[in-house]
Chains A and B, each alone.
Chain A
Amino acid sequence: MTSIEDKLFLNRFRVDATPHLKVLDPQVCVRECREQPCLNFCPARVYTIGENGKINVAHEGCLECGSCRIGCPHMNIEWRFPRGGYGVRHKFG
Chain B
Amino acid sequence: MPEQCEVAVVGAGPAGISAACVLADHGVDVVVFERGEFPGAKNISGGVLYGHDLAAIIPDFADRGCPIERNIVESRLWYISDDGGYSLGYRDRIFGESRRNNVFTVGRARFDRWFAGQAAEKGALVVCSTVVTDLLKDSSGRVCGVRTDRDDGDVEARVVLLADGINSPLAAQTGFRPEPEPDHVALAVKEIIELSEKTISERFNVAPEDGVTIEILGSATRGMNGVAALYTNRKSLSLVIGGSLKDFMRQGLKPYELIDDLKAHPMIASLIRGGEPREYMAHWLPEGGYNQVPRLFGDGFLIAGDSGMLFNALHREGSNMAMISGKLAAETILKAIHRNDYSSKTLAAYQEALNHSFIMKDLKKYRRFPGFLEKHRQEIFGVFPALSGMAAREMLTVDGMDKKKKQSRIWRSIRKKMTIAGLIRIVFDAWRSVK
Residues on A with beta carbons closer than 8 Å to the beta carbon of B112: 93
Task: Decide if A84 is an interface residue (CB 8 Å cutoff).
Answer: yes
Q: B42, B166, B236, B253: which has the most chain A beta carbons within 10 Å?
A: B42
| B182 interface hit (Cβ, 8 Å) | yes
Q: What A residues does B128 contact at CB under 8 A? A: 84-85
Q: Which residues 39-81 in A have Cβ within 8 Å of B in the complex?
A: 40-41, 43-45, 63-67, 69-71, 73, 79-81
Q: How many A-B residue pairs have CB under 8 A?
A: 144
In the complex, which residues of chain A have a beta carbon less than 8 angstroms from the beta carbon of B264?
A: 1
User: Would you call B43 an interface residue if the criterion is a C-beta within 8 Å of the partner chain's C-beta atoms?
Assistant: yes
Which label, helix, strand, loop or mixed, suits the secondary structure of the A interface?
loop
* Structural contact, B187 and A90, CB atoms closer than 8 A: no
Evaluate contact between B148 and A92: CB separation under 8 angstroms: no
Is the pair A80, B169 in contact by a Cβ cutoff of 8 Å?
yes
Query: In residues 156-192 of chain B, which contact A (Cβ within 8 Å)?
Result: 166-167, 169, 179-182, 185, 187, 189, 191-192
Please classify the interface of chain B as helix (H, G, I), strand (E, B), loop, or mixed, using the class held by over half of its residues. mixed
Name which residue of chain A comes closest to B256, CB basis.
A4
**Interface assignment of B111: CB less than 8 Å from any CB of chain A:** yes
Compute how far the CA of A44 lies from the CA of B253 in the bound complex, rounded to whole angstroms.
Answer: 13
* Closest CB in chain B relative to A39 CB, distance in Å: 9
- Give every chain A residue within 8 A of B37 (Cβ-Cβ): 14, 85, 89
B277-A7 in contact (CB<8A): yes
Would you give the 0/1 interface string for A1-38, flagging 1 where the beta carbon is closer than 8 Å to chain B? 11010111011001000000000000000000001010
- Chain A residues within 8 Å of chain B by Cβ, number: 39
Q: Looking at the complex, which one of B36, B110, B236, B277 makes contact with A89 (CB distance below 8 Å)?
A: B36
Indicate if the CB atoms of A10 and B280 lie closer than 8 Å. Answer: yes
Give the interface of B toward A (CB within 8 A): 35-37, 40-45, 107-112, 128-131, 133, 148-150, 166-167, 169, 179-182, 185, 187, 189, 191-192, 233, 236, 245, 248-249, 252-256, 260, 263-264, 277-284
